[in-house]
Amino acid sequence: MIEFRNVTKLYDSSAMALDRLNIKIEKAEFIFIVGASGSGKSTLLKLITKEEEPTSGKIIVNNVNLTQMKKRDIPYLRRTIGLVFQDFRLIEKMTVFENVAFAMNIMGAGSRSISKRVPYVLNLVGLEGMARRRPSELSGGEKQRVGLARALVNNPGMILADEPTGNIDPAMSYEIVDLLGKINKCGTTILMVTHDISIVKQFPFRVVEISEGKVVGDTQNRSDDLWL
Ligand SMILES: Nc1ncnc2c1ncn2[C@@H]1O[C@H](COP(=O)(O)OP(=O)(O)OP(=O)(O)O)[C@@H](O)[C@H]1O
Ligand SMILES: [Mg+2]
């Protein structure tokens, strides 16, 4: 579903963010991406969404070569991707319902499908009864559940989450990753960047380690090795 072949990314500052990186990710995999600060993790995600362009190499997403993709096709690519951020990025003036509905609205959904789908997704992430609250009235874990609902509402084939548990406490972090795991079970590919090794050790997923823009580790956590 996602393939990087010898991908190098040099920013203008001449920082080598990715250095001939290779990775292959199958549909419906769950992958933790770990590595030191500055190793290139966020850059990897930004290349998948075409927020950044590679300096060289080939990136294939959903069978399409991104370097040859036309500008007008970028919205179609982004429709297949749900994003989750460390700082939630909720709109403070909007209620929980409106934050999630907004994501459907910009994709052109009608009010009838919005009024059906949004409560369903809020229920899925355990936010039933909170639809009318505003972000300022939620805990960090609840805010991130809204972030997950928003990422999910358009039914994307993959979710890219950059440090989604970076601003929430350990118990809530576990719940968020557990939820991502349930979403993954339904067939959604998940890439989650994290510094939280204790979280990584609690789930039976693939772990890709990046150092200085290269993949230096690629292992599968086995259920019997987990810290439970
Ligand atoms: N927009 C940019 N312009 C110039 N250099 C950048 C830009 N974004 C990232 N870099 C540089 O590219 C390298 C990789 O950055 P990246 O954000 O991918 O790291 P990261 O692994 O996500 O780090 P962190 O864990 O701190 O978020 C770093 O040296 C960084 O300074
Ligand atoms: Mg980063």
- Report whether 193 contacts 163 (CB < 8 A): yes
Regarding whether 95 and 170 lie in a shared domain, the answer is: no
pLDDT reading at 228 higher than 70: no
The angle formed by the CA atoms of residues 199, 178 and 182, to the nearest 5 degrees, is 140
Query: Mind listing the pLDDT tens digit for each residue in 94-107?
Result: 999 999 999 999 99
Q: If you count them, how many residues does the chain have? A: 228
Regarding whether 151 and 38 lie in a shared domain, the answer is: no
Q: At what angle do helices 140-152 and 96-105 cross, to 10 degrees?
A: 20
Number of domains in the chain: 2
Query: Mind listing the pLDDT tens digit for each residue in 24-76?
Result: 999 999 999 999 999 999 999 999 999 999 999 999 999 999 999 999 999 99
Q: Which residues surround ligand 2, an ion (CB under 5 A)?
A: 42
Query: Mind listing the pLDDT tens digit for each residue in 107-120?
Result: 999 999 999 999 99
Report residue 19's pLDDT band, with 50, 70 and 90 as the boundaries.
very high
Regarding whether 223 and 208 lie in a shared domain, the answer is: yes
Ligand nearest 13 Cα, by number? 1
Q: Cα 55 to the chain's mean position, in Å?
A: 23
Backbone torsions φ then ψ of 109, nearest 5 degrees? -70, 150
Q: Nearest residue CA, atom 7 of ligand 1?
A: 11
Cβ(37) to ligand 1 under 6 A?
yes
Report residue 223's pLDDT band, with 50, 70 and 90 as the boundaries.
confident
- Residue with tokens 């429709």, as numbered in its chain: 79
**Considering the domain boundaries, does residue 85 fall inside one?**
no
- Domain of 161? 1-80+156-228
Cβ(11) to ligand 1 under 6 A?
yes
Regarding whether 133 and 65 lie in a shared domain, the answer is: no
**Considering the domain boundaries, does residue 199 fall inside one?**
yes
Q: Is 142 helix (H, G, I), strand (E, B) or coil?
A: helix
Report residue 225's pLDDT band, with 50, 70 and 90 as the boundaries.
confident
Beta bridge partners of 56: 8
Q: Is 96 helix (H, G, I), strand (E, B) or coil?
A: helix
Regarding whether 23 and 74 lie in a shared domain, the answer is: yes
Both tokens assigned to 83:
């994003």
User: What per-residue confidence (pLDDT) applies to 227?
Assistant: 75
Please, where are the H alpha helices in the chain? 41-48, 74-79, 96-105, 111-124, 140-152, 170-185, 197-200
Regarding whether 210 and 140 lie in a shared domain, the answer is: no
User: What per-residue confidence (pLDDT) applies to 193?
Assistant: 98
> What proportions of the chain, in percent to the nearest 5, are helix, strand and coil?
35, 25, 35
CA dist., res. 17 & res. 54, Å (int): 10
Report residue 13's pLDDT band, with 50, 70 and 90 as the boundaries.
confident
Regarding whether 163 and 61 lie in a shared domain, the answer is: yes
**Considering the domain boundaries, does residue 86 fall inside one?**
no
Q: How far is ligand 2, taken at its centre, from the CA of residue 93, in Å?
A: 27
Both tokens assigned to 191:
């890439």
**For position 210, which CATH number holds?**
3.40.50.300
Query: Mind listing the pLDDT tens digit for each residue in 184-219?
Result: 999 999 999 999 999 999 999 999 999 999 999 999
Q: State the CB neighbour count (10 A cutoff) for residue 62.
A: 14
Ligand nearest 162 Cα, by number? 2
DSSP annotation of 55 reads S
Regarding whether 151 and 183 lie in a shared domain, the answer is: no
User: What per-residue confidence (pLDDT) applies to 14?
Assistant: 74
Regarding whether 73 and 29 lie in a shared domain, the answer is: yes
| Phi and psi based region of residue 38 (left: phi greater than 0; alpha: psi -120 to 50; beta: remaining) | left
CA dist., res. 192 & res. 65, Å (int): 22
Regarding whether 125 and 168 lie in a shared domain, the answer is: no
Regarding whether 184 and 118 lie in a shared domain, the answer is: no
